[in-house]
Structure 1
Amino acid sequence: MGEPNSESETGGTSGAGAAAVPGGETEHTPDGDEPATDGGTVAGDDAASDYGDDRAGTDDEADRTRTGSEADRTKTDSEADGDAVGNGAAAGNGAAGEDAIDRLRRRIRRAIEVLRGSSIDVRPYRPGDGVFAEFEVPDGEELVDRYWVNAPYAYVVITYADEESEHYYYAVEPELDDFEAELLARTRVDIRDPLLYATDAEPTAEETLRDELRSLLEQYGVDVSMRTFHALLYYLARDFRGFDRIDPLMHDPHIEDISCDGYDLPIFVYHDEYTDIETNVAYAADDLDDFVIRLAQESGRHVSVGDPVVGTTLPDGSRVELALGEEVTPRGSAFTIRKYADEPFTPIDLIDYGTFSIEEMAYLWLCIENNKSLIFAGGTASGKTTSMNAVSMFIPPRAKVLTIEDTRELSLYHDNWLSSVTRERLHEGSDIDMYDLLRSALRHRPEFIIVGEVRGNEAVTLFQAMNTGHTTFSTMHADSIETVINRLENEPINVPRAMVQSLDLLCVQTLTRVEGERVRRSKTIGEIGEIDQRTGELDYSRAFRWNPGTDSFEGGDSNLLEEIQRDRGWSRTERKREMNRRERFLELLSELGTTDYRQFTALVNEYYADPERVMERLEAAREEASDDVRSTDGASPDLTEAGEAEVDGGGGVTGDRDGEDSGEGVTGDRGGKDGDENSETRADEGDRADGSR
């Protein structure tokens, strides 16, 4: 989201008073003129609408190329044209009459083109093909941020209104004139059958869509510009294969949640930098109902007036909650989409974002390796599932892992992993709930059982699994250790207190603010003890706690570490040495920028096999990075780029994590609330306030 220079790559500058397309490479019309700035009109649209004007030759030359009845029809058209010229000259004094004549001529040319047919030479879009869209900042608002989300078609503009003290989010897509909009409506209908009956033997979906669009336009006899062709292609791909009007929002890597509250209401998003923000996207009643039904169908679920509420997972892995009609949501159909990162977060990500300290993460690693069960608790969007998924990367290689969820959220990079999801009743069958899956899971002989969330009677079976030696991870909605215990022991979960003590760890997370920014922090890590024989209460202690005043983590005594020390036959010195070595391992990976989950998992597996060898390699990589810093006069190297910290060998550190690049390497422009557009570049990963979702 960094801001490039205000001067475009082709040497021009953006129009005054308008937020031009990010990056500047599509700022100019094909002949190099300045872009139009009259309220956001697109340069070159006249050529697109008057698609017959650019063809070589005149009507008389076209007459000579035709024979028989076609020539007669052309002659009749020419006579009509001449009559119109005469009538226009007599009736319309000046420009009005000439405009009417020009429109009539264009209609005649279009009719001739349809009869003749056309041939379109399709090629990739080029910056010289024309500007797709320009955006003019509304009065009373100032440009704050802009960046690509689907270059070169769609970008985002974020503004700030001083009077309301609010940010606003604008999704900017290609503009269409009246003729292009009419053409899009027609192609959207005519292209359905060819796409529906396309076979797997045909080219990719993108190629099929492009070829069918070209074929239809040639059948229509339309000779469109490349800008018009690619604008139509964008909207067809967006509507048939994308997410309709919210497609730019789904492509935005900085959005965590998308919320639609009803008919004709603006959609709100949760932006990782600007938090809750209103967008310029809204749905009318019929369109919203259709879209909600479509989301359910694409997820393999059914939603109807009789069953209006559905929670499911979209094909891209996002979680969605749907409500159809006004039965349960009086303001109309609604949906909320919780987006997840394309790649799962690693423990290094959580350390870098300050969610956990290195010492806490090393502590959790040692506990997981030694089969300690844990629950992550916290409020909505506090990062419970993200943290559980991240620490699951510490599970020893080859250990059998079984996950149970009602909506698919977990993603493990583990060979011996069995994933299971609940199912609602199909026809005459019965529901398969988490309780059924958990009972079945125990027959698969898993070593680790991960349950997405406990909220009902499945918790009893989960704790029975703990008591029989299975290591289990799960999440709960609760804001403290005491609340977790109370929820477990009371309705509707009802786990006996004697069984609760089989739980080893409780990690409570919170979504809070530090210096005005929303962040996620591990508020406390507690260790569950035994039942106090005098009071009958369940004992627990805090191994770590977060100090909000200093935004730091404080450690305490750990009974679990002493228990692990006894079980492993270590001395106190050996236990401390192992903890220190794991802390150094995580510290090195953080310094080297090794946040790719595949690399991280490979290195953890190497550590289990030969910790001394992998530590030597990491120290060597760190020393090499230090030499690079000294050779550049103290300039800090970008260790997130490929190859900066590369080490040969399997699972070696490369520090290669792709930024969330929004197409063709184009970065957006960034300005302050005062409109200052100083050039600034930053990695997309660094834009996140904390990253845990």
Structure 2
Amino acid sequence: MELNRLNEFGKGEPEPPLVHNGSGPSLARKAEEEQERAWKQKIHQKLMKVLDLSLLGTLGKEEAERQLQEIGQRLMAEESIPLSLTARQRIIRQIQDDILGLGPLEPLLADKSIADILVNGHDSIYVERNGKLEKVDVSFHSDTHLLNIIDRIVSSVGRRIDESSPMVDARLKDGSRVNAIIPPLAVDGPLLSIRRFSIGRLSMEALMEKGTLTAPIAGLLESIVRGRLNVLISGGTGSGKTTLLNVLSGFVPDNERIVTIEDSAELQLQQPHVVRLETRPPNIENKGEVTQRDLVRNSLRMRPDRIIVGEVRGAEALDMLQAMNTGHDGSMTTLHANAPRDALTRIENMVSMTGTTMPVKAIRSQVASAIDVVLQVERQEDGTRRLVSVQEINGMEGDVITMSELFNFRRVGRDEEGKVIGHYKATGIVPRFHEHLHQRGIAVPLSLFDPDFED
């Protein structure tokens, strides 16, 4: 198939002016970039005149890229542009990204070291690498260019974004989460946030190498999952809650039926019997919404052995607690909280959001009965995501939920490179679930809980 109609456009358009410099290497490079940008815009405009976009959409990506490259090279030859072969190839690649992909974001999406991409307007883009934010030398041509890319993202998943609906959550083809917000809500121009999707599922060994936890604690967590204890993972934004949940889910036996419920599907379970459910936002008429609470309720009719909720945010907390209390032991979920005790308070508040008339003591009793273990994760100032506390919920004493900390991470300072220094310390408390695991044939050595244990 041929996509161009080269004989349909005229000649004689003014060429971009050549930019001369005379001050030094930095100014010279800047002048070259300006020259490339000008030629890119000119070639892109000519290309759009000769492209049949409806036909382009019917081709596979490789064939579309090949034809775009062929037409782009032909146009460049006709214009006799004064650029090197490398610069010409770079321009063609950028044009391919603009037409077929996500424009300037494509190189960032290809960089596996980047965890988050944050676009604060067309000329301000930040990324997160190794837990730290840094600005990158990448930009869109204009707010209109950025809006076109945002529209392409959201329309590909059947969503829309405009002045009447200026906020949207979506998902890229690779599973990365996307949030976009445009004017009039975004005062200084369109905003785009992309939480990268990890292609390769992290293993417990990888987490240990990154310093998230130690081998003895990893062994305990594996025993907790295999022993079908209900686990709550608590932490702040970007602290690694979903990553830890992914890793722990890998310890679920293959013969169990697992139902996962998420706002935006991120979990990468490898078991053969997994049912994945995802919420649906309301349509333009504000109808058709399916919430996490709807999905949790429905999952109870799907004969699950375990229910995994990506993140508890609202009224679904009550249904999740009831599921954990009615035979779906071994379930797991995450939520935002800065401490294990705060996590329980948040669940209590979320249950209250349902409008239930249950007394506070009854709600706390449900929480204490449903959740067995709380894992607190934290992103520390050196960028390391670390499990900082392992706590067991013991039950109720009066109106208070009692908890016992089994392990914690004790900081002792920072080294010359700014890395957090510390070690894990057992508190000396033997958890009540130790006997439960023993009865299930899961051996956990008592020496693991010795207060002299350090790592």
TM-score (norm: length of structure 2): 0.80
Tell me which residue corresponds to 2:314.
Answer: 456
Q: What residue in structure 2 maps to residue 512 of structure 1?
A: 380
Distance in structure 1 (CA, Å) of the matches to 2:273 and 2:230: 19
Structure 1 residue 565, shift from structure 2 partner: 4.2
1:660 aligns to what? none
560-569 or 241-250: bigger deviation: 560-569
Give 3-state SS (helix, strand or coil) of 2:300's partner.
helix
Counterpart AA for 1:406: D
Secondary structure of 1:443's match? coil
Among 46, 53, 56, the residue aligned to 1:193 = 53
Q: Show CA shifts across 1:545-574 (max 9, x none).
A: 11112511112323244232452368xxx5
Confirm whether residue 237 of structure 1 aligns to residue 96 of structure 2: yes
Equivalent pair of 1:378/1:384 in contact (CA under 8 Å): yes
1:536 partner letter: D
Q: Does 1:469 align with 2:327?
A: yes
After TM superposition, give the deviation of residue 468 of structure 1 in Å: 0.6
Q: SS where residue 551 of structure 1 aligns? A: strand
Shift of 1:192: 4.2
Structure 2: gaps (5+ residues): 1-10, 13-23, 354-361, 413-420, 450-455
| 1:319 aligned residue | 177
Q: Which letter maps to 1:552?
A: H
Match of 1:595 in 2: none
User: Once structures 1 and 2 are overlaid, which stretch shifts more, 248-257 or 174-183?
Assistant: 174-183
Q: Which residue pairs with 1:525 in the alignment? A: 390
How far the C-alpha of 1:403 sits from its partner, in A, is 0.6
Measured in 2, the distance between the counterparts of 1:473 and 1:576 equals 24
8 Å Cα contact 2:175-2:197 kept in structure 1: yes
Displacement of 1:484 in angstroms is 1.0
Whether the 8 Å contact between 1:195 and 1:209 is mirrored in structure 2 is no
Contact 1:487 1:493 in 2 (8 A): no
Equivalent position of 1:375 in the other structure: 232
Shift in Å at residue 282 of structure 1?
Answer: 3.4
1:413 aligns with 2:270: yes
Contact 2:56 2:64 in 1 (8 A): no
> Tell me, what secondary structure is at the counterpart of 1:237?
helix
Letter in 1 for 2:78: V
Question: Secondary structure of the residue that 1:368 maps to in structure 2?
Answer: helix
Question: Hey, what's the Cα distance between the residues in 2 that align with 1:490 and 1:500?
Answer: 11
Give runs of aligned pairs for residues 96-495 of structure 1, distance below 5 A: 138=26, 176=36, 181-193=41-53, 195-196=55-56, 198-199=58-59, 204-211=60-67, 213-214=69-70, 222=78, 230-262=89-121, 265-272=123-130, 275-283=132-140, 284-325=142-183, 327-426=184-283, 430-470=288-328, 471-491=330-350, 493=352
Residues 528-558 of structure 1, C-alpha deviations (whole Å, 9 max, x = no match):
11111xx321111011111112511112323
Q: Which moved more, 1:546-555 or 1:213-222?
A: 213-222
Aligned residue among 440, 443, 450 for 1:568 = 440
Q: CA deviation at 1:363?
A: 0.6
Q: Deviations over 1:633-692 (max 9, x none)?
A: xxxxxxxxxxxxxxxxxxxxxxxxxxxxxxxxxxxxxxxxxxxxxxxxxxxxxxxxxxxx
Change (3 A) 1:472 1:227: same
Structure 1 position 422, deviation (Å): 0.3
2:430 corresponds in structure 1 to 558
Query: Is the counterpart of residue 498 in structure 1 residue 361 in structure 2?
Result: no
- For each residue in 1:186-221, what CA deviation from the matched residue of structure 2 results, as whole angstroms up to 9, or x when unmatched? 11342242643535xxxx422333135425765998
Distance 1:551 1:220 in 2: 59
Residue 335 of structure 1: how far off its partner (Å): 1.2
State the secondary structure of the residue aligned to 2:254: coil
Output the amino acid matched with 1:477: H
Identity %: 26
Question: Which structure has more RCO (C-alpha within 8 Å, separation ≥ 6)?
Answer: 1
SS of equivalent residue, structure 1 residue 518: coil
TM-score by length of 1: 0.53
Change beyond 3 A, Cα 1:521–1:427: closer
Q: Alpha carbons of 1:508 and 1:173: their partners in 2 closer, same or farther (altered >3 Å)?
A: farther
Deviation at 1:237, TM superposition (A): 2.1
- AA matched with 1:476: L
Q: 1:289 to 1:564 in 2, by over 3 A?
A: same
**1:538 counterpart letter in structure 2:** I
The range that moved more, 389-398 or 420-429, is: 420-429
CA contact (8 A) 1:292 1:334 kept: no
Per the TM alignment, residue 391 of structure 1 is displaced from its structure 2 partner at its CA by: 1.0
**How big is the shift at 1:505?**
0.6
The CA distance in 1 between the partners of 2:289 and 2:116, in whole Å, is: 29
- Give per-residue Cα distances to partners, 1:406-427, cap 9 Å, x unaligned: 1121111111111110012347
**Contact in 1 for aligned 2:409/2:425 (Cα 8 Å):** yes
1:95-150: CA deviation from partner (whole Å, max 9, x where unpaired): xxxxxxxxxxxxxxx99xxxxxxxxxxxxxxxxxxxxxxxx9749xxxxxxxxxxx
Whole-angstrom distance in 2 between the partners of 1:330 and 1:219 = 39
Q: Report the AA paired with residue 503 of structure 1.
A: I
Q: Give, in angstroms, the shift of residue 229 of structure 1.
A: 6.1
In 2 relative to 1, CA 567–137 (structure 1 residues): closer, same or farther, beyond 3 Å?
farther
Contact preservation (8 Å) 2:47, 2:71: no
Tell me the equivalent position of 1:655. none
Give 3-state SS (helix, strand or coil) of 1:496's partner: helix
After TM superposition, the structure 1 = structure 2 runs for residues 532-611 of structure 1, keeping only pairs within 5 Å, are 532=397, 535-549=398-412, 551-555=422-426, 556-568=428-440, 575-576=444-445
How do residues 27-66 of structure 1 correspond to structure 2 at under 5 angstroms?
A: none
- Cα separation, 1, equivalents of 2:113 and 2:91: 27
Once residues 498 and 403 of structure 1 are traced to their aligned partners in structure 2, the CA distance between those partners, rounded to angstroms, is 25
Cα shift at 1:509: 0.8
CA contact (8 A) 2:68 2:96 kept: no
- Per-residue displacement from partner, 1:438-488 (whole Å, max 9, x unpaired)? 111111111111101111110000000000121211111111121011111
| Structure with larger Rg | 1
Shift of 1:178: 5.3
Q: Structure 2 CA distance, aligned partners of 1:286 and 1:530?
A: 56
Could you list the per-position Cα deviations for residues 368-423 of structure 1 after superposition, in whole angstroms to 9, with x for gaps in the alignment?
11110101101111111111111110111121111100112111111111111001
The CA deviation string for residues 1-55 of structure 1, in whole angstroms up to 9 with x for no partner, is xxxxxxxxxxxxxxxxxxxxxxxxxxxxxxxxxxxxxxxxxxxxxxxxxxxxxxx
Map residues 1-12 of structure 1 onto 2, 5 A cutoff.
Answer: none
Mind listing any 5+ residue stretches in structure 1 that lack a counterpart? 1-109, 112-135, 140-156, 158-169, 581-693
- The letter for the 2-side match of 1:333 is P
Measure how far apart 1:278 and its partner are. Answer: 2.1
In the alignment, is the contact (CA less than 8 A) between 1:378 and 1:510 conserved in 2? yes
**Partners of 2:40 and 2:385 in 1: CA distance:** 47
Letter in structure 2 aligned against 1:559:
P
Question: Residues 306 and 547 (structure 1 numbering): CA distance in 2 closer, same or farther, change over 3 Å?
Answer: same
Distance 1:261 1:288, change over 3 A: same
Contact 1:401–1:448, Cα closer than 8 Å, also in 2: yes
Amino acid at match of 1:339: R
- Contact 1:311–1:321, Cα closer than 8 Å, also in 2: yes
Aligned mates of 1:546, 1:259 — CA distance in 2: 31
The alpha-carbon distance between structure 1 residues 399 and 329, as it changes in their structure 2 partners (threshold 3 A), is same
Distance in 2, matches of 1:542 and 1:425, equals 42
Change over 3 Å in CA distance of 1:481–1:232 after alignment to 2: closer
- Residues 303 and 355 of structure 1: is their aligned pair in 2 closer, same or farther, counting only changes over 3 Å? same
- Asked if the contact 2:227–2:437 (Cα under 8 Å) also holds between the matched residues in 1, the reply is no
1:312 deviates by 1.9
Residues 136-168 of structure 1: CA deviation (Å, up to 9, x unaligned): 9749xxxxxxxxxxxxxxxxx9xxxxxxxxxxx
Aligned residues: 402
Quick one: distance in 2 between partners of 1:211 and 1:317?
Answer: 28
